Amino acid sequence: MASETRTSARAGDPSANTGFGAELSSEAEPGALPRTQNAPRHAPMGLFTEQLSSTPFLVGRAEARRSWLYRVRPSTEVGDFSPVPHPGLSAWGSHAAPNLLGWKPRPLPLEATDFVDGLTTVAVGGSAADQAGVAIHNFVTSAPMTRRALCSADGESLLLPDEGELEVRTEFGRLVVGPGDVLVIPRGARFAVNPLGGASRRGWWIEVFGAGFALPPRGVIGANGLAESRHFVAPDAAYEDAPGEWTIFHKYSGTLWAAPSNHSPFDVVAWHGTAVPLAYDLSRFCPVGAVAFDHPDPSIFTVLSAPTAVPGRHVADLVVFPPRWDAAMHTFRRPWYHRQAATEWNAIVTGPTSNRVYSRGGSFLTPPFTPHGITPDALERELSGKDDEKPRFIGDGATWVQLETHFQLSVTDAWREAPWRDVDFAGVARGAKVRFAKGGASFHSSDTIPGLKP
C-alpha cells in the first residue's frame, strides 16, 4: 500500500515545509512521528527508527546534517553490493589542459533511457575517495527508474534540469523540478528520477566531496538579498509499502555499485531533521549589483557554497546570472577580459535551444588563469552603444549558472570526445580590434563620472 493523499511538492510552492538548514518534519500518517524523542523503544505504528547522518558526528551544530526516518522496513534489508560497469560514469578525468572547452546541447535519447543509464561524467576535480573535490555529470532520461533507486555515498548533490520537468522521488517524499530550478539532495539519501510528460529530459548532476552546501554569508550586503532560506521547499512524507524486487545503486568512491532489495526503499512514513532534499526556484534569487559605476565580481550572484576550512577557498560555489537591471554609469557592462584562480564551469539552463554553446543545454569550461572574455562582435556592439548611460535590462529569458571551484577539473574521455563538443570554442574571444594610439588622450571626456573628480 502507499500514501496516495500526498502530492509532489514543486520548487517555488508556497509551502509551510520550507527552510534551508532548518529542522523540518513531515508525516504521511497522523501520529507516525515521535513527539518527545528521536528513538523510542517502540516507535509509533510499529515503524523502524533509522538515522541518516549526512555529515560527521563532530562537525559544528550549524554544519550538522542529520535526519531521523521512521520506515516500514529497515534499510539493512538489502543484499551485498557488487560493482556495476557503467560506460559513462568515471571517478577521474583524463584530460587536464589550460584550454577553453565548449559543448553544444547533448542530444536527447531516441531509445528508452533512465537516469542511471543516461549519466555521463563531464569532469572531476579532487577525489571522492579522499573526500575533497567535485564532480560534474550530465544526464539524459526518457524513462522512469522503475524499481531502481540511487544514492551518492560520495557527496551532497545538486540536480539542475535544462530540458523538461522531473519528478524526483526521495525517501522523504516527492519533488518536481524543471529548468530554472535546483534540487539539493543530502549525501546518502536515496532517490529516483522520473521524466514527466512522456518526453526526454536532460540536465546536470553535481556532487561535492567532503563538504556540504550552505547559504553564503551576506557580509556587508546586510540581512536581506540573494537566496532566502524560506524559498527552499522540502517534500511532504509519502511512503510505499511494497514488497518486491528492487535494485539499489550506490555511488561509492566514484564508481557504481548495486545491491538487490526485497522492498521499495521509499517506505518512510515520517521524518524529521536537517538532512532533507530541498528544491529552489532560481527566479526567486534577489540579485544585488553596482548602481554607480564599474563591474562587480560574479561572486555577488552566489546561491549556494560548499566551503572548506580555508576561508574563500570553496569546493564549489553555485552562481546564477538571472534577468536583471544594470544601471552602472560610464562602465563597460559586459564581462571584462579575465584570468582568475578558480575553475569556472558554465551552463545555460533556461531559454531558447539551438545547436550552439550559448543556448539552453550548452556548457563551457574555463581552467584557472586561462584568458577568457566576450566575442569581438559583442565588444564592438558594447563600445559603439548609444544608450550606454541608460539603465539596461540584462536577460532575454535565458538563465545561466556557473560553478566555481578551487579544484582544477579534469575532463573525461567520454565528454571531451563527445560529438556535440564545439572544437572551435577556444577561439570565441579572439580577434579583438586594436585601438591603441600612442600619445592619445589619457581619458575621454565621456569617461568622466558626474560628481567624481577625474
The Cα 13–Cα 301 span in angstroms is 23
The Cα 172–Cα 238 span in angstroms is 7
* Fold match flag (9-95+115-283 vs 288-447): yes
When the pLDDT of each residue in the chain is averaged and rounded to a whole number, the result is 92
188-198: pLDDT as tens digits: 999 999 999 88
24-37: pLDDT as tens digits: 999 999 999 999 99
For residue 334, name the pLDDT band (cuts at 50, 70, 90): confident
- For the chain, the structural domain boundaries read 9-95+115-283, 288-447
Tell me the H-state helices in 372-432: 376-383, 413-416
Question: What nine digits make up the cell of 232?
Answer: 527552499
Residue 359 CA to its chain's centroid (Å):
18
Looking at the domain that runs over 288-447, which CATH code has it been given? 2.60.120.10
Indicate the fold that domain 9-95+115-283 takes in CATH: Jelly Rolls (2.60.120)
Q: What angle do CA 97, 99, 104 make, to 5 degrees?
A: 115
Q: Which of 417, 364, 410 is nearest to 92 (CA)?
A: 410
Q: Which helix (H) or strand (E) holds 290?
A: none
Half-sphere exposure of 270 (CA within 13 A, CB side): 19
List Cβ neighbours of 319 (8 Å cut-off, separation of 6 or more): 298, 299, 301, 302, 303, 401, 402, 403, 404
Quote the percentage of the chain above a pLDDT of 90: 75
Instruction: Name the active-site residue from 231, 250, 272, 295.
Output: 295
Question: What nine digits make up the cell of 77?
Answer: 534489508
| Burial of residue 351 (number of CB atoms within 10 Å: 0-12, 13-18, 19+) | buried
| Burial of residue 220 (number of CB atoms within 10 Å: 0-12, 13-18, 19+) | exposed
265-322: pLDDT as tens digits: 999 999 999 999 999 999 999 999 888 888 888 899 999 999 998 888 999 999 999 8
95 is an active site residue: no
The Cα 237–Cα 26 span in angstroms is 5
Mean pLDDT is lowest, of 86-90, 148-152, 306-310, for 306-310
Confirm whether pTM is higher than 0.85: yes
